[in-house]
């Protein structure tokens, strides 16, 4: 895992994870989960519990949130959550500080989003925040599997015609690191998101940054 900044690495495509990498979204996710649980008469979860459920797609998020003893309510939860989250997904969700300057800096590069989040939610959020930066967006329900499976990352490279050696994935979880490596590309882990730092480091990302602006030093 490199922290060196002396020689920027040439890339043609930057693939970003969404939650915890591009956007700070955990507050709106937690609010929508608890609105869902409350409507269904199920016990509410603490924010920290819900934050720990994020990263593997909405279905796993809600299965964990409703709890083992309430799996019969899962389909109801999925339906109710959709309404609450679509109504509230832009209440507090914003690009992390520093992200927009980074995206502007790399205007001349191809950029994409590959997220385990459902595409419906992803597109609404990006439309609200400004999605003109991205040449391609793929979500967890597009049929390419969820990270750490490599399918969506491989799909993005194929769609944009970029070779693995000229591509980097930026993300805040072990799913991102392992998914990128399985797709044959290098990965830059971010320490400002929701991921477990020790677990990410154990997956041996090529780079580890603390602030988005560091991307401008690492890549050219």
Cα Rg of the chain (Å, integer): 17
Determine the Cα–Cα distance for residues 89 and 32; give it in Å rounded to an integer. 8
Give the HSE-up count for residue 190: Cα atoms under 13 Å, Cβ half-sphere. Answer: 26
Please report which helix (H) or strand (E) contains residue 135, including its range: none
Determine the Cα–Cα distance for residues 161 and 201; give it in Å rounded to an integer. 30
CA distances (Å), 128 to each of 45, 95, 125, 203, 217, in order? 28, 11, 5, 33, 28
Please report which helix (H) or strand (E) contains residue 113, including its range: strand 110-114
Give the HSE-up count for residue 132: Cα atoms under 13 Å, Cβ half-sphere. Answer: 4
Q: Which of 12, 17, 127, 196 is catalytic?
A: 17
Is position 176 annotated as part of the catalytic site? Answer: no
**Of the candidates 121, 182, 173, 195, which has an alpha carbon nearest to the alpha carbon of residue 152?**
182
Asked if 134 and 102 count as a contact pair (C-beta separation under 8 A), the reply is no
Active site residues: 17
């Amino acid at each position: 895992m490199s922290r060196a900044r002396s020689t920027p690495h040439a890339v043609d495509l930057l693939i970003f994870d969404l939650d915890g990498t591009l956007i700070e979204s955990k507050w709106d996710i937690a609010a929508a989960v608890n609105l869902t649980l409350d409507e269904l008469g199920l016990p509410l979860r603490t924010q920290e519990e819900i934050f720990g459920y994020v990263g593997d797609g909405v279905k796993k998020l809600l299965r964990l949130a409703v709890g083992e003893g309430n799996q019969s309510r899962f389909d109801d939860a999925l339906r109710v959550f959709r309404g609450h989250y679509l109504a509230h997904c832009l209440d507090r969700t914003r690009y992390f500080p520093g992200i927009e300057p980074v995206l502007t800096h790399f205007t001349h590069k191809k950029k994409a989003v590959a997220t385990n989040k459902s595409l419906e939610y992803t597109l609404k959020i990006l439309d609200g925040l400004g999605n003109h930066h991205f040449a391609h967006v793929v979500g967890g329900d597009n049929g390419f599997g969820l990270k750490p499976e490599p399918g969506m990352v491989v799909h993005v490279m194929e769609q944009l015609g970029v070779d693995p050696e000229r591509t980097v994935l930026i993300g805040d979880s072990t799913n991102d690191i392992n998914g990128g490596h399985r797709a044959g590309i290098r990965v830059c882990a971010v320490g400002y998101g929701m991921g477990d730092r020790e677990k990410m480091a154990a997956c041996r990302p090529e780079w580890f940054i603390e602030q988005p602006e560091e991307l401008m030093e690492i890549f050219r």
